[in-house]
């Protein structure tokens, strides 16, 4: 089989994955609190080197071409984004490092982290996420019950006051090992181990009446999608060239005159 065909195929597959990642980032350019994925690749060694089979015969010229490329696991860019002022009393933005904690279901590890601070009160007065109704937790991982008929004032440290009295304190958490965080979708993150064991007290502050904007730069994301698409097309074109070359070799070079 043509070695160049394999190298071009690895490039096509890798750039298709890159296109998928950046397309997802672009699709979330207006999603509050969204954190973009970062895509990276590595060069593969020739098969004999990669599989540590030094005793096998090989072709020195082919080994100089390497084994193509392959994608590495994506990483999440947790850089804090700018806040957009909304004026909503239950819209909360985080300035600096930190996450809100919410409870998802009744599993052994139900706590998830998010920077999407679009909150509301449900019918019973519980403070929940506006997008899915998940309860927002206080510093002791308890649910927060408020008076629906009283004004809500939230301080920068998360203290919630109604009628002049402190009634709750919203938990704000950090994860020192950002690489331990896993995206779950809908603006939620978990950790490889239990969230309660992976987090520490957050160092940021809460701003009432604002939400964090998406971390995606729309112009940069569009250029990345376009670049990945062109790279895919270029690799597919090379595959077509190799296919045509092999076809000519079979149909013409082996012909007996």
pLDDT at residue 56, as a whole number: 61
100 and 119 in a single domain? The answer is: yes
| pLDDT tens, position by position, 40-80 | 988 877 666 666 666 666 666 666 666 788 889 889 999 99
Q: How many domains does the chain have?
A: 2
Query: Do residue 73 and residue 185 come from a single domain?
Result: no
The verdict on 162 and 191 lying in the same domain is: yes
* 91 and 166 part of one domain: yes
| Residue 90 pLDDT grade (very low, low, confident, very high; cuts 50, 70, 90) | very high
Q: What confidence tier does 7 reach under pLDDT thresholds 50, 70, 90?
A: confident
Domain check: are 199 and 110 in the same one? yes
Count Cβ neighbours within 10 Å for each residue of 5-30 and write b for 16 or more, e otherwise: bbbbbbbbbbbbbbbbbbbbbbebbe
Give the three-class secondary structure for 63: helix
* Whether residue 198 sits in one domain with residue 106: yes
In this structure, the answer to whether residues 21 and 117 fall within a common structural domain is no
How distant, in Å, are the alpha carbons of 37, 168, 177, 257 from that of 114? 15, 19, 16, 73
Rounded distance, CA 225 to CA 205, Å?
34
What integer pLDDT is reported at residue 95 of this predicted model?
A: 95
User: Which residue segment(s) compose the domain that 172 sits in?
Assistant: 83-212
Together in a domain, 90 and 192: yes
- 3-class DSSP string for 7-21: HHHHHHHHHHHHHHH
The model carries a pTM of 0.79
Both 72 and 145 in a single domain?
A: no
Mind listing the pLDDT tens digit for each residue in 147-199?
999 999 999 999 999 999 999 999 999 998 877 789 988 899 998 888 888 88
The reply to whether 92 and 151 lie within a common domain is yes
pLDDT in the model for residue 51 = 61
Using an 8 Å Cβ cutoff, are 204 and 95 in contact?
yes
pLDDT band at 8 (very low <50, low <70, confident <90, very high): confident
If pLDDT is split at 50, 70 and 90, which confidence band does 118 have?
very high
Average pLDDT over the chain, rounded to an integer: 88
Residues 71 and 89 in one domain: no
Measured distance CA(129)–CA(135) in Å, rounded: 6
Q: Are residues 138 and 108 in the same domain?
A: yes
146, 168 Cβ separation under 8 angstroms: yes
């Amino acid at each position: 089989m043509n070695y160049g065909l394999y190298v071009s195929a690895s490039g096509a597959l890798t750039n298709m994955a890159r296109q998928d990642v950046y397309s997802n980032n672009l699709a979330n350019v207006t999603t509050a609190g969204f954190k973009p994925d970062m895509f990276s690749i590595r060069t593969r060694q020739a098969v004999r080197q990669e599989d540590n089979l030094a005793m096998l015969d090989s072709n020195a010229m082919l080994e100089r071409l390497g084994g193509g490329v392959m994608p590495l696991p994506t990483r999440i860019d947790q850089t804090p984004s700018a806040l957009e002022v909304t004026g909503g009393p239950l819209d909360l933005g985080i300035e600096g490092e930190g996450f809100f904690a919410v409870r998802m279901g009744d599993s052994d590890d139900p706590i998830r982290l998010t920077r999407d601070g679009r909150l509301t009160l449900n019918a019973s007065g519980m403070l929940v996420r506006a997008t899915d109704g998940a309860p927002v937790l206080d510093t002791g991982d308890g649910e927060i019950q408020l008076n629906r008929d009283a004004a809500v004032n939230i301080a920068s440290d998360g203290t919630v006051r109604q009628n002049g009295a402190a009634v709750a304190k919203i938990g704000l958490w950090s994860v020192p090992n950002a690489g331990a965080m896993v995206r779950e979708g809908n603006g939620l993150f978990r950790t490889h181990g239990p969230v309660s064991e992976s987090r520490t007290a957050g160092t940021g502050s809460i701003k009432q009446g604002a939400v964090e904007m998406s971390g995606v730069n729309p112009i940069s994301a569009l250029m990345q999608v376009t670049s990945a698409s062109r790279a895919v097309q270029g690799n597919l074109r090379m595959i077509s060239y190799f296919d045509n070359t092999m076809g000519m070799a079979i149909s013409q070079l082996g012909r007996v005159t």
